Amino acid sequence: MKKLAVVLASLTLATSALANNYAIVGGKVHTMGSKGTIENGTVLIKDGRIESVLANGTAPQGYEVINAAGKVVTPGFIGALTSLGLVEVSSSSGVVDSSIEKTPISNTGAALDVQYAINPDSSLLAITRLEGMTSAATAINSSHYLFGGLGAIISLSGQSPVLKSAAFMTIDVGSEGAENAGGSRAALWVMLDKVLQEAENASSTLSAEKPWYGLNTRSDVDALKRVLKGEVPLFMRADRAADILQVISFKDRHPNIKVVLVHGVEAWRVADQLAKASIPVVIDPEYNLPGGFDQMGATLSNAARLHDAGVQVAIGMDTHNIRLAAQHAGNAVANGLPHQAGLEALTSIPAGIFGVDNDIGILKPGSFADIVIWSGDPLEVTEAAETVFVGGEPIEMESRQTKLRDRYLSLRKEGNNKPSQYQRSE
């Protein structure tokens, strides 16, 4: 044990010794914090964190200068709800830790914990981060349990991925949740209340010697106690207005629980109540079709109407293409969401929901230097991330997708007769 500690310490030292100081100058800086947007800003980066964000500043000595004139600077975007790191190829093959069958450790799903399942070498991380997304919430997306278990906040750096474990718990209280609970919401909500009541009343450390006949396993109880205390936000997925009203009354019954509404296709219909109950939402603002009878009110105006009512809106629900969250936010803006709220939906709001808003989703002294320099408006489909800092260092703008691209572009060059698999870049 002692030996391990020594090794870790020296690694940390080595990293900080390598770190450079950077000054990003001349860009339009969206701080997403109290300084608002600075037209000609200077962001100083030191030892992996932001040192300062100044207007019209110049770079001091000893900082590598990065010219962002004519560019836009934002905090790295946050994937609000993904399965990044848990899945390589969704259907059939490869590593899939994003879905789960039965396990003896859990009866209600609450105990499942994805922090142990993250693969930092997943190709999705590099593919996603070079498009300006530097961290993400990741969770199991398919289980037949009541709960989907504990999700984590991960960095997309490709190293030590978990920024915050047990960052949230998920549950579906819509049609799919009802299906898992035996086919009816009439069972689902009774089950949920009983399961929570049991966890609340169970002694804080259930003895292994004494028998336990609960609806939850012992591990489920441990996890749910953290939800009940408000340490772990509860992500409740529901679409139809009636179900969302149940979520709001659930919040009334359990004022300590930090409730977040997920997907919320008809959330706009009860926007005032959501605002009053301080329930933020995570949505896909492009979802505008009545895919079922619980989604009849689907509209492209969902995000705008929620925002207008004072609800905090986070945007970004996907995995392989969570990199398109910026386009989703752009389309929310095209349908009435203010541009600033579109940016917040990708940064400060998800950071706030997960309680990591001192570290990510904001450019302020002391926060992580996860910073993106964009060619222009990040919500515009024709613009792109040009330079991405994760943890204070610019990343290699490379993924297996860019390598595939480069291989086959070079194959087309005149006189290049090498077989494709010998096309390698230096």
Partner 1 sequence: MKITPSKLTLLAVCSATLFVAGCAKDKSKDVTQAPKVTIQSNPYPSTYKPIEGQPTLITNVTILDGIGNKIDNGSIYFADGQVQAIAQSGQTLDVAVNTVIIDGSGKWVTPGIIDNHSHLGVYPSPSTHSHSDGNEMTNPVTAQVWAEHSVWPQDPGFGRALAGGVTSLQILPGSANLFGGRSVVLKNVPNRTMQDMKFPDAPYGMKMACGENPKRVYGQKGGPMTRMGNVAGYRQAWSDAQDYMRKWELYEKEYEAGKNPKAPKRDLKLETLAGALNGDIRVHMHCYRADEMTVMMDVMKEFDYQIGTFHHAVEAYKIADKLKENNVCSAMWADWWGFKMEAYDGIRENIPAVHAAGACAIVHSDSDLGIQRLNQEAAKAWSDGLRAGIDIPMEDVWTWLSANPAKSLGIFDKTGSLEKGKQADIVLWNGNPFSTYTKAEHVYIDGGLAYSLTDEMSWPVSDFELGQVGEGDKK
User: Which residues lie near partner 1 (CB under 8 A)?
Assistant: 88-94, 124, 241, 266, 269, 286-293, 295-301, 305, 320-321, 323-324, 327, 330-331, 333-334, 379-384, 401-402, 404-405, 408-409, 412, 420
CB neighbour list of residue 323: distance below 8 Å, 6 or more residues apart: 127, 128, 131, 132, 133
Please state the closest distance from residue 372 (CB atom) to partner 1, in A: 15
Q: What is the DSSP letter of 245?
A: H
Please state the closest distance from residue 421 (CB atom) to partner 1, in A: 11
Please state the closest distance from residue 411 (CB atom) to partner 1, in A: 8
Q: What is the DSSP letter of 370?
A: -
Q: What is the DSSP letter of 96?
A: B
**Tokens representing residue 347 in the block:** 């940064």
Please state the closest distance from residue 284 (CB atom) to partner 1, in A: 9
Please state the closest distance from residue 134 (CB atom) to partner 1, in A: 19
- Give the integer Cα–Cα distance in Å for 26 and 30: 12
Considering the complex, state which of residue 190 and residue 334 has its C-beta at the smaller distance from partner 1. Answer: 334
Considering the complex, state which of residue 223 and residue 333 has its C-beta at the smaller distance from partner 1. Answer: 333
Q: How many CA atoms lie within 13 A of 55 on its CB side?
A: 5
Please state the closest distance from residue 290 (CB atom) to partner 1, in A: 5
**Tokens representing residue 172 in the block:** 């579906």
Considering the complex, state which of residue 21 and residue 288 has its C-beta at the smaller distance from partner 1. Answer: 288
- Give the integer Cα–Cα distance in Å for 110 and 148: 7
Considering the complex, state which of residue 293 and residue 422 has its C-beta at the smaller distance from partner 1. Answer: 293
Considering the complex, state which of residue 275 and residue 300 has its C-beta at the smaller distance from partner 1. Answer: 300
- Give the integer Cα–Cα distance in Å for 117 and 201: 30
- Give the integer Cα–Cα distance in Å for 380 and 409: 26
- Give the integer Cα–Cα distance in Å for 12 and 31: 28
Q: How many CA atoms lie within 13 A of 315 on its CB side?
A: 32
Considering the complex, state which of residue 337 and residue 351 has its C-beta at the smaller distance from partner 1. Answer: 337
